Amino acid sequence: MHGMPEKQPVLIIACAIFRDALHALIENGTASVIVMDYGLHLTPQKMKDAIQAHIDGLDRPHLVLIGYGLCGNGLVGVQSRRHTLVIPRVDDCIALFLGSRAAYLRAFQENPATYYLTPGWLECGGEPWSSFQECSAKYGPDKAGWIADAMYQHYRKLCFVAFSPEELARYRPRALQVAGFCRERWNWQYEERTGSDELLRRLIGVGTGPAAIPGSGDDFVVVGPGREVRQEFFMPSQKVLQEEPGPCTTFTIK
């Protein structure tokens, strides 16, 4: 565990999928926030380069809280430079939406053939319906269908997860459009889950201040000055499987 000076300025670099949650949780003046474009999920190398550029642009040592998971190895190779980086020890944003890596792993064990959808993926068009439409425009519907089948036919269920019932309601029409396409083509079920912002709260230190954030362990990766992010930092221990998952309400599209 690396020391994190209490008076070190705090910068949060996070995906736009957490924009509303961050605005609700962060007190004015406690941290600077940079919100990154949704679409960087789709291009991990560009995500790495964009995050690195913001880190390199800091004029003095900071505590940098990164609102991403490993995200297709998009963080691998990011250099801390003079700063201390704190990153949730999760594979992607789904675990952040569910509140912990343990909740995600438990959900995966129970329903491994589940495709997860979030408001951010709806915004950036990184889901089956939008992908099919884009491929259809380029290659025609037959080839687009073949590509979609290769990418998605092994799933059996779509789970739309958001931080609040209000967010679920706001995005539900678009989620149901995706779900309808997936049900018609692959007979997927549709689920909705209200997630938890617990892990995001712990990352930004709401109520206690960033200096109280835990160091290394099961929940966070801490990368001290002069180091770089490595894939093996994100490997979990077995005890994370002990946590119970949150509630999930299931709807079947007729």
pLDDT at 168 over 90: yes
pLDDT-derived band at 244 (thresholds 50, 70, 90) equals: very low
Residue 159 covered by a domain: yes
pLDDT tens-place string over residues 191-238: 999 999 889 888 887 434 544 455 445 788 889 999 999 988 887 654
Alpha helices per DSSP H over the chain: 19-25, 44-56, 93-98, 101-110, 119-124, 128-139, 141-152, 165-186, 198-204
Residues 15 and 73 in one domain: yes
The answer to whether the beta carbons of residues 66 and 75 sit under 8 Å apart is yes
Give the span between the Cα atoms of 69 and 54, in whole angstroms: 17
Q: How far is CA 115 from the centre of its chain?
A: 14
Cβ 159 vs Cβ 117: under 8 Å: yes
**In whole angstroms, what is the distance from residue 232 CA to residue 36 CA?**
24
187 occurs within a structural domain:
yes
Least Cα distance to 204 among 92, 63, 41, 55 occurs for: 63
Is 4 within the bounds of a domain? no
Q: How far apart are CA 232 and CA 59, in angstroms?
A: 29
Q: What is the pLDDT of residues 65-120, one digit of tens each?
A: 999 988 888 899 999 999 999 999 998 888 999 988 888 888 889 999 999 999 88
Report the predicted TM-score, pTM, of the whole model to 2 decimal places. Answer: 0.81
| Rounded-to-integer distance, Cα 114 and Cα 105, Å | 12
177 SS3 class: helix
Task: Establish if 2 belongs to a structural domain.
Answer: no
Residue 110: which domain range?
A: 100-195+245-251
Residue 27: pLDDT band (50, 70, 90) is: confident
Whether 105 and 185 map to the same domain: the answer is: yes
Give the model's pLDDT for residue 73: 87
Residues 135 and 208 in one domain: no
Same domain flag for 22 and 109: no
The pairing of beta strand 84-88 with beta strand 63-67: parallel
32: β partners: 11
Contacts of 23 (CB under 8 A, 6+ apart): none
For residue 68, being part of any structural domain is answered with yes
pLDDT above 90: percentage of residues in the chain: 48
